[in-house]
Amino acid sequence: MDFNFIPLAFGEAISPTTAAYALATIGLVVHFGFTGLVNFGQAGFMAIGGYAFVVTSLQFHWPLPFAILATIVCSVIFAFLLGLPTLRLRADYLSIVTIAAAEIVRLSVKTPELTGLTGGATGLNGGAEDFQALNPFPNGQYLGPLHMTASDLWAAICGWALVLLACLLVWALMRSPWGRIVKGIREDEDAVRALGKNVFSYKMQALVLGGVLGGLAGALFILPRSLQPDNYGTQLTFFLYTIMLLGGATTIFGPLLGAAIFWVVLSLSDGLLSLAVTNHILPITSTQQGPIRFIIVGLALMLLVIFRPQGILGKKAEVFFRA
């Protein structure tokens, strides 16, 4: 039996994809964990970011800094589009609008009329070329048994640096009076309004911040792969929710830990299942094996919210005193 998949699965913990998931989840923590905005469309922010990055650099030949700037600007615009009509309403309206908007983005970029720009249903290849041109590592395999390529290593280093930067930013915000206001809004926005704070403005700021983190995560996500519209389906948002609840919804480092565990478990169960299938231990086919690992993820999420609703890094009291 081949157990090569085990070190590779643990290698997933530091892969650039995991960094992208962690970054998008930090955005979600700003929305859901700290401000109480139920955003079910973080995949939409990732799609906006990914497309803004790839389309500007590949189709418009913008240099890398401008492509990154475009990613940020497009995420900000998307956040305003979602927030302006909904943030004055009750919390549930935002979740309805965001889940729909994310699907609108995914289906819009797939339309044949936009194929010249977005690549249609097949997506776009080579969005990371400008980024990889800056790669200081020579070709080869790195990190021993992980067999990481030079381009993956470069993407992972930049990705995790960005994640740590985002952690620092969110930490600095949440210990400040600004953070106190958004946490107050999560608890009861009318009370905060009665104390003279412009609740709408703070909710918008939080939505923009989390959205920009989601957009940058979208750009980070396509570095090791091509841009595919169907990567940004609703399931992506729910993976991010799983990661967030796993790590702890009101923690700074929860998303990092959650993303690492999520990907390691996903790859490990995939490896174990394929081992079991090829050796005829389990009575299932290899096509059934793919969905089964997501069933395992779903089951794990259910057990998690029942037995440890505060997540791995969260405080138990926070669940106890939730109104």
CA distances from 295 to 114, 278, 298, 299, 300 (A): 35, 20, 5, 6, 9
Binding mask 170-189 for other proteins (x = CB under 8 A): --xx--xxxxxx-xx-xxx-
- Contacts of 242 by beta carbon, 8 Å cutoff, 6+ apart: 258, 262, 297, 300, 301
Q: Which is nearer to other proteins, 193 or 308 (CB)?
A: 193
The distance of closest approach from Cβ of residue 84 to other proteins in the complex, given in angstroms and rounded to an integer, is 16
308 sits near other proteins (criterion: CB under 8 A) = no
Which segments of 148-198 does DSSP mark as H helices, in order?
A: 150-174, 177-187, 189-194
CA dist 258 and 88 (Å) reads 32
The distance of closest approach from Cβ of residue 176 to other proteins in the complex, given in angstroms and rounded to an integer, is 4
Q: Which is nearer to other proteins, 92 or 188 (CB)?
A: 188
Inter-residue contact 223 to 131 (CB < 8 Å):
yes
Q: How many residues bind other proteins (CB under 8 A)?
A: 32
Nearest residue to 220 (alpha-carbon basis) of 169, 168, 267, 160: 160
Helix axes 150-174, 199-221, angle to 10 degrees: 170
Q: Which is nearer to other proteins, 209 or 260 (CB)?
A: 209
Binding mask 190-219 for other proteins (x = CB under 8 A): xxxxxxxxxx-----x---x----------
The distance of closest approach from Cβ of residue 181 to other proteins in the complex, given in angstroms and rounded to an integer, is 6
CA dist 93 and 81 (Å) reads 14
**Interacting positions 246-275 with other proteins (CB under 8 A):** none
The distance of closest approach from Cβ of residue 208 to other proteins in the complex, given in angstroms and rounded to an integer, is 9
169 sits near other proteins (criterion: CB under 8 A) = yes
CA dist 67 and 292 (Å) reads 38
Question: Largest alpha-carbon pair distance within the chain?
Answer: 66
Tokens matching residue 80: 């305003």
Q: Which is nearer to other proteins, 1 or 317 (CB)?
A: 317
Q: Which is nearer to other proteins, 122 or 176 (CB)?
A: 176
The distance of closest approach from Cβ of residue 315 to other proteins in the complex, given in angstroms and rounded to an integer, is 10
The binding site for other proteins (CB under 8 A) comprises: 169, 172-173, 176-181, 183-184, 186-188, 190-199, 205, 209, 317-318, 320-323
